[in-house]
Every structure is written in C-alpha cells, then in structure tokens.
Structure 1
Amino acid sequence: MKWNLRLTAANKGIWKASELQRMLAEHGLVISAGKMSGLWSGQPASLKLEDLDVICVVLDCEVGELLIPEPQKVARPGEDSTVRAAVGSPAPAPVVVPRRRDGRSLPPM
C-alpha cells in the first residue's frame, strides 16, 4: 500500500503538517510532532483505524484516497518473491547462494 496523505491534504488546500495536526486535534486526535512528521512525510508503520477515521473526516476524503493499493508488489504463488521482472526486460540475475569453503553446511535461515 502506498500512503498518500500529503497529496490528499494538498488537494484540500492543506499545505503544512502543523496545519493538519491542529485540525486533527480539533477533532479529538492529538498527535505528537514526531508521529505527525512520520505521517506527513513517510509511510506509517502502523495506524489505528479510529485515527484513520478522524483523518478522513478532517480531509473530507475516502480511505481509498489515503491508501493506494500496489498489487504489483505482491508475490504470486510459484513466483520468485525477491525479483519481479517487467515484461520485455532482461532476465533477473541468478540468486547467489553462499557456500562455506570447508564444505560444511550453513545454518538454516
């Protein structure tokens, strides 16, 4: 999922994180400056559904405007999950498997 808070806020005329932080506080959601910075400029590691509701009310938006699916990043069964090549691109490089010089096996991963 792609987090799209900053663009959604800009579409509503909100250009500063502090302005959104104040508006959220008016609706009962008090967010620290550090957490607000993470929400504004990055991809949040976690977000309560109740907080997401408040953000949607303040921005007058739907959840789908804040969270954009990225299905191309999901590994399919039987597909190598480390590299997904685009159609027409050269084949991905082979996966390198480390081996010990003395012949002993490596510990399980």
Structure 2
Amino acid sequence: MTVELDTGWNLRSVMASRGIFQTSKLKPLLEERGIDLSREQVYRLVTQPPQRVRLDVLAALCDALECSLDDLVTITRREVTAPVAVGEEATRGSIGDLRPVRAAIRRPRTK
C-alpha cells in the first residue's frame, strides 16, 4: 500500500473572500512586505498551482491576506493499493519466497 498526497492551491479563492479579484491588486500588497515579483510572476502565482514557493513569499501572502497557510494550501492524503496482476493472488508473498528452479537438460535417445 502506498500513500499519495494531493495538494490544492487556494490563493485565488482566498483573494476573492477578501474582495481582491485582480492579480494587479496583489502586487502592491506584496511589495509593502518586501517581496518584489514581476506582474507575470504574480499572475502565475494566482492562476497556476506553483511547484515551489519561497517561504518569505508565503509569509507575505499570509500577512497581506490575513490568512493562515492552511487557507492557502490544502493537503489530501490517500492510501492506494497496488494493482494485483492476473495469477498473482496465489503467489502473493515476498521476493524472498521466489527461488529459481534448476533446469533439466534432456538429450534425445539415439538408437
């Protein structure tokens, strides 16, 4: 069984709950807190889930929007079972249970 983590980026909905509907309104709020991002970077931060975010940017977002990190990022944990191959049900075990079988070479009988 493996665990998969799904993350959600909720910056746009947090902004909307605070009455901020344009990405251009977020840029000055970040600049007041010492974060200098380009207009394009702010737009991508709002519209696309980022792969990486600096901690100072997260702190500035939380301070500017008066929210917590839990409001911006949601993490959902799922346990996933590995699919079972056909015929594998009976041989289910560890890899140590598998042992090679010695091959027997048989020569044809000659008269």
Fold equivalence (TM over 0.5): yes
What 5-or-longer segments of structure 2 have no aligned partner? 1-6, 87-111
In the alignment, structure 1 residue 28 sits paired with structure 2 residue 34: yes
Q: 2:52 aligns with which of 41, 46, 51?
A: 46
The structure with more radius of gyration: 2
Q: For residue 66 of structure 2, what is the amino acid of its counterpart?
A: D
Structure with more of its chain in strand, by fraction: 2
Give, in angstroms, the shift of residue 69 of structure 1.
1.1
Unmatched tracts of structure 1, length 5 or more: 82-93, 95-109
Let me know the Cα RMSD of the aligned residues.
1.8
What are the superposed Cα offsets for residues 24-73 of structure 1, whole Å, 9 maximum, x if unpaired? Answer: 1111111112211111101011101111011100000000000011223x
Q: Distance in 1 between matches of 2:29 and 2:60?
A: 10
How many pairs were matched up?
Answer: 78
1:16 to 2:22 alignment: yes
Identity among equivalent pairs (%) = 27
Identify which range, 53-62 or 28-37, moves more after superposition: 28-37
For 2:36 and 2:54, locate their aligned partners in 1 and report how far apart those are by CA, in whole Å.
Answer: 13
Q: After TM superposition, what 4+ stretches of structure 1 lie above 3 angstroms from structure 2? A: none
